Amino acid sequence: MQPSSRANPNAPQLWLPAEQLARFAAADTDAHRLFTSPQAWIERFGDDLLLSYKDDFSRADALSGLAEWEQLTGFRHRRLFGKFIPMHNEERVAPVLIEGDGTAPLATIVRDSGTQFGVDFSAGYSAGLFIDQRANRALVRQSGGGRVLNTFAYTCSFSVVGALAGGETVSIDLSRKSLDRGRANFALNALDPAGHRFIADDVVEVLPRLARRGERFDLIVLDPPTFSRGNQGRRFQVERDFEALLVSALELAAPRARILLSTNCTRLSGRALEGIARFAFKATRRSADFHTEPPLPDFPRETGAQTLWLFLRN
C-alpha cells in the first residue's frame, strides 16, 4: 500500500516501501530518499527529513503523504526541514525548520553503508551529502585504492571512501570551508586528513598544474556544478565546458584509470555524457569502456544525477 497523491494521482511518484526501508537499515544506511514526485521530494538524513518543493501545493501534498507513510512504516522523524526550489540559482536559500526542536544543533551525522558523514542544515542550500551518489561511492570504495583525484570535491565524500579503500586522495574545491568539512568527514571515519591533500583553488586552473608536475591518478571524479564562478570571475558552464574539463583530466589519468562523469544539469543526459567522452577521447587518443551503475532503489528513473563511468583501456 502506498500513500495517496491528492495533487495529481497520475503523476510519476515513489514512496519508499517498508521493505526497502528495512534493507537500508540492514546496510547501515540512514541517508536516502523517502518520496519523489515531479514537484517535490523528501530525503532522510538520520532522524531528520528534508522536504524540497517547487510550489506550496506540492509541499502540502508531500506533507500529507508523509503522515500516511509514517503510519504505514512505523518510521518517525525527529525534525522536518523545508527547502524551496527556485527557478534561478541565485534565489536559493538554506532550508528552514518546519517541525521539531528549534533549539537542537543543526549539524548531525549520517551513515551511508557504514561510512559516516556530517550534514549541517544551516550551512547553505545543500546539507553536505549527495545521496544520489551512493552507488558511485560504493564503486570507489571497492576500487582497491591507488591515487584518487576528487574535483569539485565539496565535503569530500568520494575522497573519504577512496581513502577507506586504501587510496591516496587529492581533493580540490574553491571553497576552503567545504574542504574543512571534508577534513572533518575524514576524522569521523578514523582517517588522518594529514595523509591526504586538500587544495582550495579553481579546478580548471589546478588540473594543468598537476599535469605539468607529472602527476597521474588511478581514479578521477568529475562532478562539476551546472554553473559556477572560478578565480577572477571566470565562468564555468557545464554544457559548454565539460568536454574541456575531461580533456584536462585525461592528461592526468594513469593507464587503465577510472573516471566518473556526473552532472545534475537536466539538459545533459547519459547519452550526452557519452558524446562528451567520445569527443575527448578523439582529442587525446584515449579509449574506454562505458559503465553505469544500476538505478538506486529510492530514486525513480531519470531522477538524481546523470552519471557515467569511463574505464580507460590505455
Mean per-residue pLDDT of the chain: 92
Distance of alpha carbon 138 from alpha carbon 133, whole angstroms: 9
For 103, half-sphere exposure in the C-beta direction (CA atoms, 13 angstrom radius) is: 0
CB 182 within 8 A of CB 153: yes
Domains and CATH numbers, the chain: 14-114 (3.30.750), 130-312 (3.40.50.150)
The pTM score is: 0.93
Cβ atoms of residues 107 and 122 within 8 Å = yes
Residue position matching grid coordinates 518510521? 75
Confidence of residue 144 (pLDDT cuts 50, 70, 90): confident
Q: How confident is the model at residue 212 (pLDDT cuts 50, 70, 90)?
A: very high
DSSP state of 260: E
Out of 215-219, 226-230, 249-253, 276-280, pick the least confident: 226-230
Residue 188: count other Cβ atoms within 10 Å of its Cβ: 15
